[in-house]
A and B are shown apart, each in its own frame.
Chain A
Amino acid sequence: MSENSIALIFAFPLFGAVLCALVGRKSRNLCHPIAVASLAGALWGGIETLRRVIASEANEVSYYFGGWNADAYPRGVGIEFRADYLGTLIMLVVVGVAFLVAIYSKLPVAEETPEKEGSFYTLFLLQVTGLAGICLTGDAFNLYVLIEVAALTGYGLIAMGSARAAAATFNYVILGTIGASFYLLGVGYVYMKTGTLNMVGIQEVITADGLADSAAMQVAFVFICLGVLIKMAFFPFHAWLPNAYFHAPTATSSLLAPLVTKVMIYVMIRMTLTVFGVDFSFENTLWTEVIPWLVVIAIVCAATMALAQRDVKKMLTYLIVAEVGYMVGGIWVYNYYGFIGSIFHVISDACMTLCLFLGVGIILRKRKTTHFDGLRGLFRKMPFTMGGFFVGGFSIIGLPPTCGFFSKWYLITGGMLAERWEYMVALMFSTMVMVVLFFRLIERIHLAVTESGENIGHGHGDLALPDSETFFDEAHWTMLVPLLLSASVVLVIGIFNQDIVNLIQDFLEPFDLPKGTDR
């Protein structure tokens, strides 16, 4: 069974989703256990796959759906799933995050989308299937289908909330369709010039036929990158993200915010390294000059807009846009350490964003709002929740020993070695902004000062709270335990970052990226 571990990663959530749809109408309470159980199975499949990849010689494991393996048939006849370190690590993050959110979602789903549990968990499990598939697939068109699976389930999950969420989702649909269709167009051009859809096969044809100068391939690369940039909410295509994630139900935003944009970064890494190759993507100096400047604008604008927000959840959505800027910059400074930073940041950002959104969900449930005005006294009332929340916050700022510190370290090293000073300055600036953001938040929670500056407390320690708000009243365990687990994962990944970075370095070895100041 373990040689089919890759198939099991999809089989468990897929069957779980159908089961949720079938039983969801009658017995709504069964959906949550089914979801948690299928994701536990998928997690087992994922860990088993990582073990097999580590144990293999070439650091990758291939799985051919339908049995059309590359020994007996030309490559690309069937659909191949290639699990190498990059894909497997990110897939594990996806399934792990989804597992935690599934446990967490029991109460929010029942309250925010009553009577829709069946549909919700069906779409939830299918979303995870799509995202995990994107990480492992080795076929360019299959990637498109899985992107659309993830997108459609996302639209459904967000729009199941209020009508305001439906309005935000419409914008998301339009922009998301443009992005996915541009990707499809790019793949069409690539297919027309190379004749194959298998990722490794495309790379082989590009090198064999010398297609690096072909106008069609360059335009294909532009469209694929453009499509992926739209889907990952890179500034200025980010307009859909803050509204969509802010108005989404709690469980939805906890699942989508950490994962969707990060998986799109993975797609960009896969396209530039594996499909088009380092020579094609980066030797053309136009992109490596222009894109870091676009990244700088993205990071600065997103950080500034986050500063202007008065609502924690909205602020976090703008921080996601800034983090996307970090990762795109890490890729396009074209440096070995920048790539390590970018890949490690995908993993760590998923975990810390999860931590933050889980915390925000608990706050929303207790205080019915995430506006700054409603956060007074939370340290006293829910110390564990706020502790977990601020572990995520410190990781975003980049304090050791959280994982955020190490990923920022690699990104700054990459920027410095590639002599991209503008990228480094942008990183520093946004780090300062994030320090301001989170410490302002701590101040709000700790003191009795309202937005208008009025001090409504009557002395030291008096936060002007009604009696009901001064007792210790932690969140329900189904919501608290995932939050604390994600906070501890943030710390563990930070402390043991060298093990993960070793795997990433094993993956990046064959690509021969520049390491020093000689580009």
Chain B
Amino acid sequence: MRAVSEADSSIMFGEDGLLNELLVERFNYCVYVVLLLIGLYAMIAKNNLIKKLIGMSIFQTAIILFYVSIGVKEGGTIPIYVAEHDPHGNHAEHAAHPEEANATEGSEENATTATASHEADHGHHAPRSLTDEETSGYANPLPHVLMLTAIVVGVATLGVALALTQRIYRAYGTIEEDAVLAAILAEDAATVIPDVLSTKPKRAKAKSRKAKQA
């Protein structure tokens, strides 16, 4: 009995168990999925228009977090060249203190590669291609770029949606979705089709103009 239950629990809780795989190693994905679901639920289920927009914002933020987490590299630094890879170089400091400069690097490249590249560009200041070893010291810049665009698009959509909310409030006096719907149905029921085809004298024109202005 005991052996079976131990085997069962190791499926969930052991090194290769489901919970370890999902919650520990891939924790970032679980976080963003939860945020995404919160935002999606708010967008669909909430009645108040502003709460829907808050949900939209959360939803888009979750996607942004997901993308940024793709670009992370273990032990990598931000995607800006450190001083010694800088195409314009940081020449004065390099010439004076090569060892200290290497020691203060944030990345985990080994010292020999760094010294070799330093010696290589000590003589000339032309920019050079980095080796594979060195590129693994930087995070992937592409997801950051994509998400700059996505953030801007999200802000733009939010701005337009807020303007729409204000316009709806100005016309219907409420921002609860069911109240707006009720007001719209009442307006539809009261609309008179402009009767341009009547052979009787025209009094329907006044009603039609009011109906069109709403």
Contacts and interface: CB of A to CB of B under 8 A. Distances in A.
A148 B157 contact: yes
Interface size, B (range): 35 or more
Contacts of B196: 367-369, 374, 469
Interface stretch (B5-13, B116-124, B165-173): B165-173
* Dominant secondary structure of chain A at its interface with chain B: helix
Given A148-B157, A167-B184, A177 B56 contact: yes
A11 B43 CA distance: 36
B153 A145 contact: yes
B157 A376 contact: no
B82 interface: no
A178 B214 contact: no
Nearest to B52: A174
Most chain A CB within a 10 A radius of its CB, from B153, B171, B172: B153
A173 interface: yes
Interface stretch (B59-67, B84-92, B103-111, B126-134): B59-67
Contacts, number: 110
A475 interface: no
A243 to B, nearest CB: 9
Contact of A169 (B43, B66, B164, B171): B164
Contacts of B36: 185
Contacts of B199: 464-466
A192 B71 CA distance: 9
Interface in A159-216: 159, 162-164, 166-167, 169-170, 173-174, 177-178, 181, 184-185, 188, 191-192, 197
B214 A162 contact: yes
B161 A163 contact: no
Contacts of A466: 197-199
A87 interface: no
Contacts of B187: 164
B43 A188 contact: no
Contacts of A373: 193, 197
A353 to B, nearest CB: 25
A311 to B, nearest CB: 9
Contacts of B153: 145, 148
Contacts of B40: 178
Contacts of B44: 174
Given A167-B168, A188-B67, A192-B70, A177 B157 contact: yes
Nearest to A450: B197
Interface string A137-173: 0000100110010011001100100111011011001
Interface string A374-392: 1011000000000000000
Most chain A CB within a 10 A radius of its CB, from B60, B160, B213: B160
A177 B44 CA distance: 12
Nearest to B70: A192
Nearest to B170: A163
Most chain A CB within a 10 A radius of its CB, from B49, B70, B193, B198: B193
Nearest to A467: B199
Contacts of B165: 170
Interface string A342-377: 000000000000000000000000011101011011
A181 B56 CA distance: 10
B161 A185 contact: no
Given A152-B156, A464-B199, 7 more contacts: A159-B164, A164-B214, A166-B167, A166-B171, A178-B40, A369-B196, A469-B196
Interface of B: 36, 40, 43-44, 49, 52, 56, 59-60, 63, 66-67, 70, 142-143, 146, 149-150, 153, 156-157, 160-161, 163-165, 167-168, 170-172, 180, 184, 187, 193-199, 208, 212-214
Interface of A: 141, 144-145, 148, 151-152, 155-156, 159, 162-164, 166-167, 169-170, 173-174, 177-178, 181, 184-185, 188, 191-192, 197, 367-369, 371, 373-374, 376-377, 464-466, 469
25 contacts: A148-B156, A152-B156, A159-B163, A159-B167, A162-B213, A167-B172, A170-B168, A173-B160, A173-B164, A174-B44, A178-B40, A185-B36, A188-B63, A188-B70, A367-B196, A367-B197, A368-B208, A369-B196, A369-B208, A373-B197, A374-B197, A376-B197, A464-B197, A464-B199, A465-B199
